[in-house]
Amino acid sequence: MSTASPSSRSLTRGLPWVLVGNVLYMASAALLTLVLPRIISVADYGLWQLYQLYVMYFGYVTFGYTDGVYLRLGGRRWADMPGPRLSAGLIRLFALDLLACIGLVAWVWAAAPPQQRGLILVLAGLGALFYVPRTLVTVVLQIAGRARAFALGTVVERMVTFVGVGGALLFGVRAVIVFIVFDVLGKALGLVIAVLIARGVFLARPDLSWQATREFFVDCGAGMFVLVSNLAAALITFVVRWAVEDHWGIEMFAQVSLAFQFTTMFMVLVNSVSISVYPQLSNLDRAHYADAYATLRSRFVTPLVLMLGLYFPLAWVLGLWLPNYGQAIFFLALLFPLSVYETKSRGLSVVFLKVMRRERLMAVINLACLGLAVVGTWWTVYLWGSVTAAVFLIAMVSAVRSIASEVLINRLIGVPILADTLTELLVCAVFLGVVAAGGPPLGLLAVYATLVLYGYVHRDALPGLGGRRRGRRAVD
């Protein structure tokens, strides 16, 4: 392992390529998010979001294998990857997901839900059949630090969906099922492209021996706690969104889902952090973890806190463009602080806990927060009957999960978090208070004054400012 002290440059090596891929992904997602709600009805947009919700959660049917590979092979070079073993693992994972997809089709046929919902469920299962094996290829590229290849695979998948949906709209097609079919085709082509990119590993002759089969199940066992942890974290939002759809119907679900979609676009960049950082952390001496965490935290959290100031001009523009989604724009304000806490949780705390092999503790935190979300959803939706409280609940639970993870990080590696945590809570509280008051002029002034003060205090973490300040100090 490396014993050198970490620098922000070494820790973020490869990040530009990942950012390019994810920015292009965000651009296509933004166009779909902005165009679809304006062209199709609120109910149809709700069905599109229902498909997206299903396929996201079906994507967790990895049986722990991809997470186990991520943990057990972390830090390996591309040349050291066990090609025959991983090629066989890809085949086994695809076969297991195919069985799960067949089981889903059988359930839909037996349960006979409403025809359109049943078709959406089947298509979501088909999309997951291609998406889940692709995550294995993605994980191996991440481990080896091949950020450029990872970015290419992401761009190809999203562009197929974007071009297909965009072409359908240009020809006057408004059927949601057609859009979903193009999304499934994009996932299928994304899997093919990813395997071709990583053909040196995944097109190797598969090792189908009994020993390789045992290794497959060992990897599944190693990643099971990470899978449970990630699924519990994802179910926090699923529980609330499902309850909204169950209690208020598909149109209110569409309003809530649009707000989540905008938040998700910001969160795509969070994955860029872990993709780029994990290979370097895997080879870093534990004595430098505290410095690495502090460096990464300041570099990525500070800009996201300052991005809270984008909400008010963004809300004004969205109000003009999507007049039928006024509730979604308000819900977006409640979810905007989510990006700050999810960055710390997914992009930093989770990565460090994985490197230190503390995935069981991570699972305990996420399961506890899932329990909190379930109880809170039952209270806010079915007893109180407030969709605003239900959406706000998600941001609160995410903040609790993030802070709990950081407390655990502090106990493990001794990185100080109290001052920064309290400062971020204060900024978010001022922002939410002004939103709740309706955004009066004095309130807006208070938000931007708070953000300017926060940016000044954390100016060393901002690109350019920190370098010039250090340069002046060096000259002095």
CA-nearest of 303, 304, 85 to 204 is 85
Residues 6 or more apart whose CB falls under 8 angstroms from that of 142 comprise: 70, 150, 274, 275, 278, 279
Strands (E), 161-231: none
Residue 298 φ then ψ, to 5°: -65, -35
Please report the pLDDT score of residue 16 as a whole number.
53
Q: What is the pLDDT of residue 472?
A: 40
Token look-up 């004004």 returns 316
CA dist 298 and 379 (Å) reads 36
Report the pLDDT value the prediction gives residue 31, as an integer from 0 to 100.
67
Per-residue pLDDT, 92: 93
Cβ-count burial of 80 within 10 angstroms (0-12 exposed, 13-18 middle, 19+ buried)? exposed
Contact in structure between 397 and 376 (CB atoms under 8 Å): yes
Cα 129 from Cα 137, distance rounded (Å): 14
What's the pLDDT at 476? 38
Q: Which residues, in sequence order, are bridge partners of residue 2?
A: 284
Burial-class residue 301 by CB neighbours within 10 Å (0-12, 13-18, 19+).
buried
Tell me, what's the pLDDT at 378?
93
Write out the chain's pLDDT in tens, 476 residues. 444 444 444 444 545 555 555 566 666 666 677 788 888 888 888 888 888 888 888 888 888 999 888 888 877 888 888 889 999 999 999 999 999 999 988 888 887 677 788 888 899 999 999 989 998 988 888 777 776 666 676 677 777 777 888 888 888 888 888 888 988 888 898 888 889 888 888 888 898 888 888 889 998 988 888 888 888 888 888 888 889 988 998 889 999 988 888 887 666 655 555 556 666 676 677 777 888 888 778 777 888 888 888 889 988 998 899 888 989 999 998 888 887 787 778 777 887 887 787 878 888 888 999 999 999 999 999 999 899 999 999 888 988 998 898 888 888 888 887 888 888 889 999 999 888 888 788 888 999 999 999 888 887 766 655 444 444 433 33
DSSP conformation letters of 220-275: HHHHHHHHHHHHHHHHHHHHHHHHHHHHH-HHHHHHHHHHHHHHHHHHHHHHHHHH
Burial pattern 135-162, b for ≥16 Cβ within 10 A else e, equals: bbbbbbbbbbbbbebbbbbbbbbbbbbb
Q: Which residues neighbour 28 within 8 Å (Cβ) at sequence distance 6 or greater?
A: 158, 159, 161, 162
The residue whose two tokens read 């806990």 is: 353
Q: Note the pLDDT of residue 376.
A: 93
How many Cα atoms occupy the beta-carbon half-sphere of 451 within 13 Å? 17
